[in-house]
Structure 1
Amino acid sequence: EIDQIQKIKILCKKLPKLYFPDENKKFIYIVESDASEISYGGVLKYKYEKEKIEHHCRYYSGTFTNPEIK
């Protein structure tokens, strides 16, 4: 059981960190989304004006309810 917890901790440390943009710098938000017949997901990212690196702000995902599917 302890080994499993350690494995989870190691995997979590490898996930991209989430950051909010510095409001004092010029940046643009980037929204990526995807969906299937039963679920959806998205990523909110930003990029500073003169940089190529995209920073992750937020992840979102879920499944549609039965009324939403119909």
Structure 2
Amino acid sequence: MLKSGVNVGAWRLRASNNLTANSDDKPQWTTSGAWLERDLTRWQSELTLGDTSRRAMCLTRYSFR
């Protein structure tokens, strides 16, 4: 898994990618998630937009779009 990102001002663009070999041994990139996030310091929160998953307090993951 390759995790990449770029920061522009207060915004952070993030992506999770996978490189796999298909039946022809050709590499194939797939994106498992891409999202944009930023801190909302006034509300002591974080805004996340896009495809991703988060770990909940009960240690399970949930995906959202």
Question: Which range, TM-score by smaller chain?
Answer: 0.3 to 0.5
Higher helix share: 1
Higher strand share: 2
Name which one, 1 or 2, has greater alpha-carbon Rg.
Answer: 1
Which structure ranks higher in relative contact order (CA pairs < 8 Å, sequence separation ≥ 6)?
1
